[in-house]
Amino acid sequence: VPTVSIFGVPFCKWGMKETVSYLSEVVSSGRPHQVITANPIMMMAAKEDPAYKKMMQQADLIVPDGTGVVWAAKMGGDPVTERVPGFDLLHELMKQGDRHGWRVYLLGASKEVIQEAARRLALQYPTAEIVGYRDGFFGPEQDREVIDNIVQAAPHLMFVARGADTQEPWIAKHKEELGVPVIMGVGGSFDVISG
């Protein structure tokens, strides 16, 4: 993966098309990958907190979501192809899931929001199979139960929305036991999808 370092965070230089085709190959390979769509809040967290920065550096793919990143890469003389917004990437991956019949798990947001987001995504992408969903309001004591549930559903693709301070470290910590090929943090996307 070709990257450019911005404040020590390695951003993928690919545009949407290459990113989607790479992640489709990842789904076939089966190895867990953490995808981060880094926003300015995460960049600030990486600057302030070495542990958060290290977590980001160990992610498998960081896409340039945000005009600031695109600008900074260009100013540094090592530009990225284009902005890759997380919300668009979610939909592009759902399109692939619809084409190939991927199993999809949705984790995060409130009970009402995630239920409605699951309903709408199932309507929009009928051949992608939503194999499970649950809200994002649980503590570490429930991690075991949540993870077991996901492992049983064996998704190819999983989106996680729990707020940037929680979702990315949670994915990083559990990605190996989750064993899901593509795991991506999506912040407020479920709230937008549910309307």
- Residue 66 DSSP one-character state: S
Q: How far is the CB of 34 from ligand UDP (least distance, A)?
A: 16
Q: What is the DSSP string of 118-181?
A: HHHHHHHSTTSEEEEEE-S---GGGHHHHHHHHHHH--SEEEEES-HHHHHHHHHHHHHHH--S
Binders of ligand UDP in range 163-192 (CB under 6 A)? 163-166, 187-188, 190-191
Q: Which is nearer to ligand UDP, 92 or 135 (CB)?
A: 135
Using Cβ positions, the residue closest to ligand UDP within the complex turns out to be: 136
Number of residues near ligand UDP (by CB under 6 A): 15
| 52 lines the binding site for ligand UDP (CB under 6 A) | no
Q: Write out the binding residues for ligand UDP, residues 85-124 only, by CB under 6 A.
A: 108-110
Q: CB-wise, 68 or 163, nearer to ligand UDP? A: 163
Query: How many helices and strands in the chain, by DSSP H and E?
Result: 9, 8
Minimum CB–partner distance for residue 106 and ligand UDP (Å): 11
Are the CB atoms for 164 and 134 separated by under 8 Å? no
Strand partners, 133: 106
The residue (of 115 and 166) whose beta carbon lies closer to ligand UDP is 166
Residues in the chain: 195
Q: Are strands 9-12 and 3-6 parallel, antiparallel or unpaired?
A: antiparallel
Binding site for ligand UDP (CB under 6 A): 108-110, 136-137, 161-166, 187-188, 190-191
